Amino acid sequence: MNRTSRFAVALAPIFAFTSLVSWPALAQDTRPSQEEIIVTAQRSGAPMWTIQTPTGTVILVGEIAAVPKSTPWEPDRLTDAATSADRVIIRAQPKFSPGDVFRLIFAGGKITKLPGKTIAADYLTVEQRARLAVLESEYDVDYDRRSFLMSSFDLLARRLDFDNKTTKDPTEIVRKAAERADVPVSQPERFRGEDLLDNLAGADPQSHIPCLEAAMTATEAGQGIIAQRGDAWRNREIPAVMANPLEIALGTCWPWADDDVGTEIRDQWTGMIADAAKDSGVTLAVVPLRVLAEKDGVLDQLEARDFPIIGPEWR
């Protein structure tokens, strides 16, 4: 496996037909009502909130990364709701150009390693380094020279293995359903790969220590937290999801915790949802739960704007 591939690994969710008849007076519109679309979406089991306005309805589906296969929910219901909506909003993937591949090669060391000849003990407290040493011994791995972000990703993805045996995420389910039904799809503005890599390469190593601490806590807690998080999500127990060590770790790590990138992500979502509330018909938006339900997140911001939000308690 070449250097670029290794780095990539490290960085490392039914159409309804109207009968055609010869007598116009007998033709019927079988498109579901707004209320029926809401009920269908709710039956999927995914936590969601609705904003009803004089002109339409916005359905906000709270998405978590890597829903376990053991989590009992009904993705087909979400598919049905998406095909009946007037429009959907889903997250966008970063936009990487061919030139960004070369930036990965040249900036890779700044992203994957600690600066210069420094080691983890140069930045961590004695207690933090001791915790990391225990995990290094348990998993036979050396984190001494790795960047704290890469160490965190390794702990979560390879040691805790949180993204193994998962179902399709809600974003992918809604994307495919909307494309099949020709439902308009909107996305927040995509971040350029160049900007993300520059942001990551220029970050102070100490800025990733909270991420490392959260990743260590999640890994120490063990794999049981994975199913607990999925069950709390399915049961619409939002505070329990947000308090889960895995969710805390994912929300504490880059890019969510970055002041510039994280803030822009939240502002984009709040603006798009506020705009959608002005439209007629039904808008189905799949939004990362941590962006929706965190303190001062999208739900808090929408509530501060006096939007009538109906759904489970999120704080």
Give the pLDDT of the chain (315 residues) as one tens digit per residue: 544 444 444 444 322 222 222 233 333 456 789 999 999 999 999 999 999 988 899 999 999 999 999 999 999 999 999 999 999 999 986 554 444 443 444 445 667 899 999 999 999 999 999 999 999 999 999 999 999 999 999 999 999 999 999 998 999 999 999 999 999 999 887 655 555 666 666 678 999 999 999 999 999 999 999 999 999 999 999 999 999 999 999 989 877 766 677 778 888 898 999 999 999 999 999 999 998 999 888 999 899 999 999 999 998
Please give the helix or strand (H or E) that residue 135 lies within, else none.
helix 126-139
Q: For position 84, what pLDDT does the model report?
A: 96
- Comparing C-alpha atoms, which of 170, 182, 174 is closest to residue 15? 182
Cα separation of 40 and 75, whole Å?
A: 11
Q: Cα-flanking dihedrals φ and ψ of residue 279, to 5°? A: -85, 160
Cα separation of 79 and 43, whole Å?
A: 11
| DSSP β-bridge partners for residue 58 | 51, 283
Angle at 67 between CA 66 and CA 68, to 5 degrees: 105
> Cα–chain-centroid distance for residue 55?
29
Amino acid code (one letter) for 32: P
Q: For position 13, what pLDDT does the model report?
A: 30
Tokens of 9: 């690994």
Contact residues for 192 (Cβ-Cβ < 8 A; gap 6+): 94, 95, 97
Q: For position 215, what pLDDT does the model report?
A: 97
Q: 193, 94 in Cβ contact below 8 A? A: yes
Dihedral Cα 10, 92, 76, 166, nearest 10 deg? 10
Q: For position 3, what pLDDT does the model report?
A: 45
Q: For position 160, what pLDDT does the model report?
A: 96
Contact residues for 214 (Cβ-Cβ < 8 A; gap 6+): 152, 245, 248, 249, 252, 253
- Comparing C-alpha atoms, which of 210, 186, 219, 247 is closest to residue 58? 186
Amino acid code (one letter) for 16: A
Q: For position 14, what pLDDT does the model report?
A: 22
